[in-house]
């Protein structure tokens, strides 16, 4: 692409007559930042955005697995791994994993994301048989106990096939469907919703001096190319979610650039998922010690992303995030008289 447009999103109740509405939500915009690889950015009127891009930004996102994206969608994380960066080993037993899933659903999770391979920086690839042995027993049990959709967090088609047979309905692939050549074909043939994530390199080496010409535009181009490739191969756009991959082959500056520019990705025309929960850079920026609580920082970043129209939030701390989202929405759309004085 030669030109990109990042809508300057707002959510006040008072909407100007010239505003472009992001359908199905409380978000709107009158201006956008026009970006190019060859010239300085500039602010332009929303009506200057080409129609094919404007339509992708503003169209209502279709439901996936009966989930509406008109309100924030909370994806609760279940890592059944001994070495994940935040909660490795905490839910490695069947009882602990099942109880945690039920707890997250009770707290308001709309999706449960189950993964058996750590993709933290420096993590080595896990053998397929090991990954299967971790996730399938948990999936078999959890699928009987909860009613919300389950996604399988895996790069491997063999794991995905068994997970779908055990009750998962979404594939969340941190490689963007590039690690396993059979993954895309399987998801297309099964008409499965997928989350396509950007990552530079593999987990074992991705933080070894990652470089970009322009991180927002580079990630956007990768995701756009993957979306179009999948559609050309038979995937429905309505089955696609994108994730810019915060922390996956990115420096601190790259992460902040992506978060600051996250509304750019509405131009892809699909729901955006963001995963910032408990990431190490929160500790760095907040000046925390290694094992200090990162919940508050995680929620602060999630609320910023929501203010930019992001639809899906992959989080460890479901109860706290749900509460924060409810209060943010109440405040952002508040006008006098909304609440009766007690």
Query: pLDDT, tens digit, for every residue of 36-52?
Result: 999 999 999 999 999 99
- 28-29 vs 273-274, strand pairing mode: unpaired
Round to whole Å and give the CA distance between 1 and 219: 12
Residue 195 · residue 313 · CB < 8 Å: no
Which run of H or E residues covers position 80? none
Round to whole Å and give the CA distance between 276 and 273: 10
- 73-79 vs 20-21, strand pairing mode: unpaired
pLDDT at 337: 73
Helices (H), the chain: 51-58, 94-107, 128-145, 157-165, 183-189, 215-232, 252-260, 280-286, 295-307, 318-332
pLDDT by residue for the chain (342 residues), tens only, comes to: 789 999 999 999 899 999 999 999 999 999 999 999 999 999 999 999 999 999 999 999 999 999 999 999 999 999 998 754 555 567 768 888 999 999 999 999 999 999 999 877 777 889 999 999 999 999 999 999 999 999 999 999 999 999 999 999 999 999 999 999 999 999 999 999 999 999 987 777 668 778 999 999 999 999 999 999 999 999 999 999 999 999 999 999 999 999 999 999 999 999 999 999 999 999 999 999 876 789 999 999 999 999 999 999 999 999 999 999 999 999 887 777 777 654
Catalytic residues: 279, 314
DSSP 10: B
pLDDT at 341: 53
Whether pTM > 0.85 for this model: the answer is yes
pLDDT at 334: 78
Annotate 48-74 with DSSP letters as a single string: GS-HHHHHHHHSPPPPBTTB-SSS-EE
pLDDT at 207: 80
| 73: β partners | 312
**Structural domains of the chain, ranges and CATH numbers in brackets:** 1-60 (no CATH), 61-332 (3.20.20.20)
pLDDT at 140: 95
Whole-angstrom distance between the N-terminal and C-terminal Cα of the chain? Answer: 55
Report which of 274, 186, 184, 266 is spatially closest to residue 231, judged by C-alpha positions.
184
CB atoms within 10 A of CB 75: 29
Round to whole Å and give the CA distance between 167 and 162: 9
DSSP 96: H
pLDDT at 332: 85
């Amino acid at each position: 692409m030669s030109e990109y447009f990042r809508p300057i999103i707002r959510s006040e109740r008072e909407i100007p007559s010239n505003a472009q509405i992001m359908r199905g939500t409380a978000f709107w915009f009158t201006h956008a930042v026009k970006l190019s690889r060859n010239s300085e950015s500039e602010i332009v009127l929303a009506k200057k955005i080409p129609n094919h891009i404007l339509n992708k930004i503003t169209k209502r996102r279709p439901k996936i697995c009966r989930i509406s994206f008109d309100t924030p969608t909370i994806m609760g994380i279940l890592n059944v791994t001994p070495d994940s960066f935040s909660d490795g080993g905490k839910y490695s037993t069947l009882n602990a994993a099942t109880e945690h899933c039920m707890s997250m659903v009770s707290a308001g999770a709309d999706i449960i994301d189950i993964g058996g391979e750590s993709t933290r920086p420096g993590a080595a690839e896990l053998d397929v048989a090991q990954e299967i042995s971790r996730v399938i027993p948990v999936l078999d049990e959890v699928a009987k106990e909860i009613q919300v959709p389950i996604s399988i967090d895996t790069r491997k088609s063999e794991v995905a096939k068994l997970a779908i047979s055990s009750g998962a309905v979404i594939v969340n692939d941190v490689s963007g469907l590039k690690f396993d050549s059979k993954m895309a074909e399987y998801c297309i043939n099964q008409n499965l919703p997928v989350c396509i994530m950007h990552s530079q390199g593999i987990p074992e080496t991705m933080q070894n001096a990652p470089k970009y010409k322009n991180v927002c535009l580079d990630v956007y181009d990768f995701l756009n190319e993957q979306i179009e490739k999948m559609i050309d191969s038979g995937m429905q756009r309505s089955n696609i979610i994108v994730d810019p991959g915060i922390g996956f082959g990115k420096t601190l500056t790259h992460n902040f650039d992506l978060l600051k520019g996250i509304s750019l990705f509405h131009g892809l025309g699909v729901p955006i998922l963001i995963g910032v929960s408990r990431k190490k850079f929160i500790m760095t920026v907040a000046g925390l010690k290694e094992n200090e609580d990162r919940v508050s920082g995680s929620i602060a970043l999630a609320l910023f992303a929501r203010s930019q129209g992001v639809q899906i939030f992959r989080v460890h701390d479901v109860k706290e995030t749900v509460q924060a989202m409810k209060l943010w929405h109440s405040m952002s759309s508040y006008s006098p008289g909304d609440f009766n004085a007690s």
